[in-house]
């Protein structure tokens, strides 16, 4: 370790010490310390004010305005929200679409992630290879994955070819308005990477004694999962739920790249609808109002989950009678 | 590890194979099969993309299907290269990504150090704000930010994509702060006794010890910036300014059913990710686990 420079007063302190005086080595003046602290976090502070708090406030104001980026900007009160809730059919559709996706995506990803994590928790030889195999699709998320799945879900693509092998006539997936969303949901089951790793970390923290206790009582594999694994994992399941619900409301890339919200608005997600209004039609005020509504919906769902969590999430430190 | 029961014969045999028995009886075999089958299913899309990208268009829908095209039809890549603006897009992506990664990693490290290793009033309250911003959807800020950049004349430039990276990213700040908190405070104190400033403690002591954590953040950052789609789509207008992600979408719009070309493009897009993943695998998975663990 290289030597750290000494302060100017260090020689004085040395001298005092050598004369037998007890010297409390003081650190630099508290004020300088505090200032240094502020300096270190100043980038974040600046960014927070100008790129987050500022825009947040501006957005709140914009939601009550009508502006098409031209020269006129006018105050329209609650008109945006009125249109949003009472007249915009597409918004209602987009909300339903997003919920449809969420209802299948979130449980699916959690169950899959949990199961795969359980598998990956076994100390089988070469487990690192399997871990990589399951995690790899998550690495390619985004446009790359979307394009791959456009091919996989093609009417004459591999998924339909496999279905044909078992005698099922595959649908036209992304071109069929009844099957486009199921196609996207199916694709989303390949992105279990982060959920799976989260569960893996949790599983490795479950005390071995609990499993052995079940074994002593004659319980088999299922009993172990039911009585030990799942209860101990509830905090992680809860975290996954919250994060995945939030994530499902921010689907954008796959919808825009694969279907542009179609066919016939079947895959129009809320975020995509906002995008269309802001950068398609330049209805900046209206889009802001919609963005805020989305945030409120997501926050409400999150808070609801936290409330319900008290009933079913078990934390280690809570005493059991 | 104490066992209260006599291990059965199957258990002992399985133990000899080096497998920790989590399932009784024949369960272990099922696990093995599930692992292999599941692994193949999950890697299939990527392998299939690779295979399709090397298949000449005539053989795409051949019956019986061609499993591995031989010889590999590299011509697809040439065609893709010429049809789109891939060289330009890749150049753009590289420029934006490299600057962003350096900026994000550096500033996040500095800020995380501030939250972990300095003291000032309101420090912890401010950190809770950092945490809170992680949970907020970015939807609301998109439009005002766009209007800000529009007013500055930055639309259709790389600036809106790069400038915000110089102010720290909450997620990385969180990871790095957690890591810094695990370093013994005695190191700081010893240096302080000798009159070192916080900055000196930072770059002489803490940073050299934080290699793995900083590397993890850099890899995460690279992946996210390379895959970034929404912001580039909003800010980049002309085809020559597009990043690879937006360019690939542009290309898909024009060559929608030429799957051999699409897959070639997809491979160019995903290959750096996969390579980076393999190089940084250890750091990667550890980094994600760091965020999910309580406290």
pLDDT digits (tens, 9 = 90+) for A32-54: 777 888 889 999 999 999 999 99
Which residues on B lie below 8 Å from A238 (Cβ)?
Answer: none
A126: which 2 tokens? Answer: 């070469």
Residue B100 sits at the chain A interface (C-beta within 8 Å): no
**What is the value of ipTM here, to two decimals?**
0.81
Number of H helices and number of E strands within chain A? 16, 2
Q: Within the 154-173 window of chain A, which residues sit less than 8 Å (CB to CB) from chain B?
A: 154, 156-158, 161
Which residues on A lie below 8 Å from B278 (Cβ)?
Answer: 132
Which residues on B lie below 8 Å from A157 (Cβ)?
Answer: 259
Q: Which has more confidence, B173 or B58?
A: B173
Residue A175 sits at the chain B interface (C-beta within 8 Å): no
Q: In angstroms, rounded to a whole number, what is the distance separating the alpha carbons of residues A67 and B147?
A: 11
Provide CB contacts within 8 A for B144, sequence distance 6+.
A54, A55, A56, A58, A59, A62, A288
Asked if residue A259 lies in contact with residue A276, where contact means CB atoms within 8 angstroms, the answer is: no
Residue B66: pLDDT band with limits 50, 70, 90: confident
The predicted structure's pLDDT at residue A285 = 92
Contact B31/A134, CB-based, under 8 Å? no
- Give start and end residues of each alpha helix (H) in chain B: 9-16, 27-53, 75-83, 86-117, 123-135, 139-152, 159-162, 170-181, 185-193, 198-201, 207-209, 211-227, 230-235, 244-254, 259-279, 281-292
Residue B74 sits at the chain A interface (C-beta within 8 Å): no
Per-residue pLDDT of chain A (321 residues; tens, 9 = 90+): 444 555 566 566 566 666 655 555 554 567 777 788 888 999 999 999 999 999 999 999 999 999 888 888 889 889 899 999 998 899 999 999 999 999 999 999 999 999 999 888 887 777 888 888 998 998 888 899 999 999 999 998 889 988 988 888 889 999 999 999 999 999 999 999 889 989 998 888 888 888 888 888 888 878 888 888 888 899 899 999 999 999 999 999 999 999 998 899 999 999 999 999 999 999 999 999 999 999 999 999 999 999 998 888 887 655 444
How many angstroms away from the CA of B206 is the closest CA of chain A? 11
Q: Per-residue pLDDT tens for B145-178?
A: 999 999 899 999 999 999 999 998 999 999 899 8
Smallest Cβ–Cβ distance between B167 and the set A35, A44, A152 belongs to A44
* Pairs across A and B, CB distance < 8 A: 302
B135: which 2 tokens? Answer: 């949970």
Q: Per-residue pLDDT tens for B219-235?
A: 889 989 999 999 999 99
Q: Per-residue pLDDT tens for A251-262?
A: 999 999 999 988
Region for residue A294 given its phi and psi (left: phi exceeds 0; alpha: psi -120 to 50; beta: otherwise): alpha
Contact B205/A1, CB-based, under 8 Å? yes
Q: Within the 203-222 window of chain A, which residues sit less than 8 Å (CB to CB) from chain B?
A: 205, 208, 212, 215-216, 220-221
Can you tell me the mean pLDDT for B55-68?
80
Q: In angstroms, rounded to a whole number, what is the distance separating the alpha carbons of residues A305 and B244?
A: 38
How many angstroms away from the CA of B33 is the closest CA of chain A? 10
The predicted structure's pLDDT at residue B1 = 41
Residue A27 sits at the chain B interface (C-beta within 8 Å): yes
How many angstroms away from the CA of A179 is the closest CA of chain B? 19
Asked if residue B175 lies in contact with residue B217, where contact means CB atoms within 8 angstroms, the answer is: yes
């Amino acid at each position: 370790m290289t030597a750290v420079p000494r302060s100017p007063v260090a020689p004085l302190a040395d001298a005092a010490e050598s004369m037998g005086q007890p010297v409390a080595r003081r650190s630099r003046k508290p004020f300088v310390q505090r200032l240094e602290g502020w300096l270190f976090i100043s980038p974040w502070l600046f960014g927070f004010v100008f790129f987050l708090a500022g825009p947040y406030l501006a957005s709140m104001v914009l939601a009550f305005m009508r502006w098409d980026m031209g020269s006129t900007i006018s105050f329209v009160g609650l008109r945006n929200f009125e249109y949003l809730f009472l007249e915009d059919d597409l918004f209602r559709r987009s909300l339903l679409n997003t919920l449809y996706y969420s209802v299948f995506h979130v449980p699916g990803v959690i169950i899959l992630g949990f199961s795969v994590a359980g598998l990956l928790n076994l100390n089988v030889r070469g487990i690192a290879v399997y871990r990589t195999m399951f995690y790899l699709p998550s690495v390619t998320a985004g446009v790359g994955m979307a394009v791959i799945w456009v091919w996989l879900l093609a009417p004459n693509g591999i998924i339909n070819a496999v279905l044909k092998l078992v005698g099922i006539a595959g649908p036209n997936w992304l071109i069929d308005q009844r099957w486009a969303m199921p196609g996207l949901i199916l694709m989303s089951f390949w992105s279990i990477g982060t959920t799976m790793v989260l569960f893996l970390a949790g599983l490795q923290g479950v005390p071995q004694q609990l499993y052995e206790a079940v074994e002593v009582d004659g319980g088999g594999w299922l009993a172990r999962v039911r009585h030990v694994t799942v209860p101990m994992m509830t905090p992680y399941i809860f975290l996954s739920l919250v994060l995945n619900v939030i994530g499902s409301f921010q689907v954008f890339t796959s919808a825009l790249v694969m279907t542009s919200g179609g066919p016939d608005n079947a895959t129009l997600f809320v975020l995509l609808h906002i995008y269309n209004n802001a950068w398609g039609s330049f209805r900046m005020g209206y889009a802001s109002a919609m963005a805020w509504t989305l945030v409120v919906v997501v926050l409400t769902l999150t808070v609801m989950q936290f409330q319900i969590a008290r009933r079913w999430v078990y934390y280690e430190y809570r005493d059991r009678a | 590890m104490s066992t209260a029961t006599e291990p059965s014969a199957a258990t002992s045999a399985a133990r000899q194979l080096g497998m920790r028995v989590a399932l009784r009886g024949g369960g272990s075999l099922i696990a093995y099969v599930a692992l292999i089958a599941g692994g193949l299913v999950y890697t299939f899309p990527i392998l299939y993309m690779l295979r399709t990208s090397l298949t000449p268009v005539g053989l795409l829908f051949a019956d019986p299907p061609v499993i591995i095209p031989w010889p590999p039809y590299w011509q697809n890549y040439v065609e893709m290269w010429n049809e789109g603006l891939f060289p330009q897009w890749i150049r753009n992506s590289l420029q934006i990504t490299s600057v962003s990664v350096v900026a994000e990693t550096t500033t996040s490290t500095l800020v995380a150090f501030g939250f972990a290793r300095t003291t000032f009033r309101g420090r912890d309250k401010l950190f809770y704000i950092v945490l809170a911003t992680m949970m907020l959807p970015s939807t609301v800020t998109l439009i005002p930010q766009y209007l800000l950049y529009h007013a500055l004349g930055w639309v259709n430039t790389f600036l809106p994509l790069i400038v915000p990276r110089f102010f720290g990213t909450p997620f990385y700040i969180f990871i790095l702060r957690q890591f810094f908190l695990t370093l013994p405070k005695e190191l700081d104190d010893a240096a302080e006794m000798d009159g070192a400033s916080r900055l000196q403690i930072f770059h002489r002591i803490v940073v050299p010890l934080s290699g793995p954590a900083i590397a993890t953040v850099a890899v995460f950052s690279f992946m996210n910036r390379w895959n970034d789609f929404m912001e580039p789509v909003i800010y980049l207008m002309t085809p020559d300014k597009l990043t690879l992600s937006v360019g690939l979408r542009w290309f898909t719009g024009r060559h929608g059913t030429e799957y051999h070309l699409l897959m070639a493009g997809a491979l160019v897009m995903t290959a750096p990710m996969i390579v980076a993943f393999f190089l940084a695998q250890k750091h990667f998975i550890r980094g994600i686990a760091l965020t999910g663990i309580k406290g």
